[in-house]
Structure 1
Amino acid sequence: MSGAVTAVSRNEEYSFTKPNRKSVTLLAGLGVDGDVHAGATVKHRSRVAKDPTQPNLRQIHLIHEELFGELRAAGFEVAPGDLGENITTSGVDLLALPVGTLLHLGDEAVVEVAGLRNPCLQIDNFQDGLLKQVVGRDEAGRTVRKAGIMGIVAVGGVVRPGDSIEVELPVGPHRALGPV
Structure 2
Amino acid sequence: MTDKRIYVTSVSSSDVHGFSKQNRDHIQLLTGLGVEGDAHMGVTVKHRSRVAVDPTQPNLRQVHLIHAELFDELTEKGFSVAAGDMGENIATRGIDLLSLPQRTRLHIGDEAIVEVTGLRNPCKQIDDFQKGLLHAVLDRDADGGLIRKAGIMSIVLRGGRVQRDDAIRVELPALPHIKLERV
> Do they superpose with TM above 0.5?
yes
Match of 1:84 among 83, 87, 99: 87
Equivalent positions of 1:15-164 (< 5 A) are: 15-164=18-167
Match of 1:168 among 168, 171, 174: 171
Match of 2:9 among 6, 10, 25: 6
Q: Residue 154 of structure 1 aligns to a residue in which SS?
A: strand
Whole-angstrom distance in 1 between the partners of 2:139 and 2:48: 24
Q: TM-score, normalised by structure 1?
A: 0.98
Whole-angstrom distance in 1 between the partners of 2:155 and 2:61: 6
Whole-angstrom distance in 1 between the partners of 2:94 and 2:73: 15
Runs (4+) of structure 1 exceeding 3 A deviation are: none
Q: What amino acid is aligned across from residue 20 of structure 2 in structure 1?
A: T
Whole-angstrom distance in 1 between the partners of 2:142 and 2:109: 38
Q: What amino acid is aligned across from residue 137 of structure 1 in structure 2?
A: R
Contact 1:12 1:34 (8 Å CA) reproduced:
yes
Q: TM-score, normalised by structure 2?
A: 0.97
Q: What amino acid is aligned across from residue 120 of structure 1 in structure 2?
A: C
State how many pairs are aligned: 180
Contact 1:2 1:166 (8 Å CA) reproduced:
no
Uncovered stretches (5+) of structure 1, i.e. residues with no partner: none
Q: Residue 136 of structure 2 aligns to a residue in which SS?
A: helix
Residue 15 of structure 1, CA deviation: 1.0
Q: Residue 103 of structure 2 aligns to a residue in which SS?
A: coil
Q: What amino acid is aligned across from residue 56 of structure 1 in structure 2?
A: N
Q: Deviations over 1:9-28 (max 9, x none)?
A: 00001110000000000001
Whole-angstrom distance in 1 between the partners of 2:142 and 2:136: 15
Residue 2 of structure 1, CA deviation: 5.6
Q: Percent identity among equivalent residues? A: 62
Contact 1:116 1:179 (8 Å CA) reproduced:
yes
Contact 1:20 1:81 (8 Å CA) reproduced:
yes
Whole-angstrom distance in 2 between the partners of 1:50 and 1:150: 19
